[in-house]
Amino acid sequence: MAEPVAATVDRLRGRAGFLPVDAVAGLADDGVLVLDPFSTLVSPGVALAAGVTLWPGTILQATGDGRIAIGAETQLFPGTRIVAAGGRVSVGTMAEIGEEGGFTIKADQPGNLVEIGSGARLLGGGSLTLCNSIGDGAQVLGPIRMQNCRLQAGGSHREPDPDRRGGVLKGSGVARGLTVPTGMVIQAFGLFSEDDLRPQTFFHPKPRE
């Protein structure tokens, strides 16, 4: 007799290191909103705080000694993939990851650490690999491949004073080994460079009093 489809799906999920469908749906008991447990893949041991929203098509994969922790009220939009294969990924509270094209975050070597602060916003199909520190309120806007970068903390994109917002990368291309201070932004289409740092008021002038 053929194996029921649901049992087959759960068996294959388990072979790949993911929870069965019922266990993903059961995350609701801990206050996690899973909008489609059938398309959402979560590894055992991933730490999800109450109020996290997992949109359809999100993947949270932790293998070996890898660790993933997602803070309260954070939203992971469709196409978000977070992988910790020997490394560690931590996301603070009220972050927004993956809107407008998904986002990939990988800590796939021992010692890799990716830290994403509270109120950070990562969108537009970009990626973080190796070690990265995305401070509170910092933003990555666009398909930018980041390695070993640091965006300093500040207010979120809702902060009315651009000089107080977290660091921002916007555009498309590759960013390696960069530090973006609070209130600053690099816009590039190609290879990002600290030579292109500008104050965020260049793009968002302060209202005249």
Q: What is the pLDDT of residue 206?
A: 76
95: burial class by Cβ within 10 Å (0-12, 13-18, 19+)? buried
Determine, yes or no, domain membership for 175: yes
Determine, yes or no, domain membership for 69: yes
- Determine if the pTM surpasses 0.75: yes
Determine, yes or no, domain membership for 6: no
Determine, yes or no, domain membership for 43: yes
- CATH number at 145 reads 2.160.10.10
Determine, yes or no, domain membership for 11: no
Determine, yes or no, domain membership for 91: yes
- What domain count does the chain have? 1
* CA triple 53-38-129, angle to 5 deg: 60
The answer to whether 173 and 188 are in contact (CB under 8 A) is yes
Going residue by residue through the chain, which has 209 residues, state the pLDDT in tens, using 9 for 90 and above: 557 888 999 999 999 999 999 999 999 999 999 999 999 999 999 999 999 999 999 999 999 999 999 999 999 999 999 999 999 999 999 999 999 999 999 999 999 999 999 999 999 999 999 999 999 999 999 999 999 999 999 999 999 999 999 999 999 999 999 999 999 999 999 999 999 999 999 888 876 65
Determine, yes or no, domain membership for 4: no
- Which structural domain, as residue segments, surrounds residue 188? 18-202
Q: What is the pLDDT of residue 2?
A: 59
Q: What is the pLDDT of residue 5?
A: 86
